[in-house]
Amino acid sequence: MRTSNPILKERAFAAATTDQVMTIQGAVNKTIVLLALLVIGAGWTWNLFYNQGHEAMMPWMMGGVIGAFVVAMITAFVPKFSPVCGPIYSVLEGFALGGISAFLEQRYPGIVIQAVGLTFGVLFSLLAVYKLRLVRVTQNFRSGVLAATGGIALVYLVGLVGRFFGWQIPYIHDSGPIGIGFSVVVVVIAALNLVLDFDFIEKGDGRAAKYMEWYAAFGLIVTLAWLYLEILRLLSKLRSR
């Protein structure tokens, strides 16, 4: 039951001791609620950008980026807070995604609807593949995705630290073949995380405490937000060529 999503961890499910247990349907319902809150948050910063300009939108977007990270860390370490922190995270993440999306939409008209469509297309396609058991979540599969995800996180961390010293990793952020290839790989890894999350949540059905429905939904929203951002990044590279 290991997963490369740092939000969904086996120890959280193993702690369930109550009579009221998590169900898959409950997790799906909570995911829909959190997704709706994310869209509301994104709509807020999107409208600020187009109605009042980026100066009015920037504090909300940056607050969303920082706030979402802080709330995500709290929720990851204290899953019992997920019924409260999950909705808060979704709204804050929406603020961040809405601002980023507005910037890119202004530069590349139509890119946001393409990214949204591809994100949900990948989600439902992988869900169908998983339900049909066309993909087996073996230990080697989990380990491979975990290692790839950790590698990507390390590359991004090195790049972030490098920017403070006026240096960045060459090529991967460019719109050349290497940069596009890198983004394709990251999108694939982000998508494979969804498969691990589906498997993890299914195995938690009937075992985890009821509040874990919120925690599981929170984990899926984290993965979907990452997948959307990476697809948006890939499309922006393709459009800039």
> What DSSP letter does each residue of 13-55 carry, written as one string?
HHT--SSSB--HHHHHHHHHHHHHHHHHHHHHHHHHHHHH-HH
What digits encode the pLDDT tens for the residues 151-163?
Answer: 988 888 888 787 7
Region 27-34: mean pLDDT is 95
When pLDDT is cut at 50, 70 and 90, the band that residue 45 belongs to is very high
Q: Is residue 12 part of a domain?
A: no
Q: Is residue 4 part of a domain?
A: no
Residue 3 has pLDDT above 60, yes or no: no
Rounded to the nearest 5 percent, the helix, strand and coil shares of the chain are 80, 0, 20
Q: Which domain holds residue 141?
A: 21-240
What digits encode the pLDDT tens for the residues 89-98?
Answer: 999 999 999 9
Residues 113, 231: contact at Cβ < 8 Å?
Answer: no
Q: What is the pLDDT of residue 2?
A: 47
Q: Is residue 2 part of a domain?
A: no
What digits encode the pLDDT tens for the residues 81-114?
Answer: 999 999 999 999 999 999 999 999 999 999 999 9
Rounded to the nearest 10 degrees, the angle between the axes of helix 212-240 and helix 24-52 is 40
**Structural domain count, the chain:** 1
Element (H, E) at 211: none
Q: What percent of the chain has pLDDT over 90?
A: 60
Residues 221, 22: contact at Cβ < 8 Å?
Answer: no
Residues 57, 49: contact at Cβ < 8 Å?
Answer: yes
Q: Is residue 11 part of a domain?
A: no
Q: Is residue 7 part of a domain?
A: no
Q: Is residue 169 part of a domain?
A: yes
Q: Is residue 223 part of a domain?
A: yes
Q: Is residue 211 part of a domain?
A: yes
> Going by C-beta distance under 8 Å and a sequence separation of 6 or more, which residues neighbour residue 188?
none
Residue 44 has pLDDT above 90, yes or no: yes
Q: What is the pLDDT of residue 1?
A: 43
Residue 75 has pLDDT above 70, yes or no: yes
Strand partners, 21: 209
**96-100, 122-126, 168-172, 216-220: range with lowest mean pLDDT:** 168-172
Residue 126 has pLDDT above 80, yes or no: yes
Rounded to the nearest 5 degrees, what angle is found at the Cα of 131, between the Cα atoms of 23 and 10?
Answer: 50
Residues 218, 230: contact at Cβ < 8 Å?
Answer: no
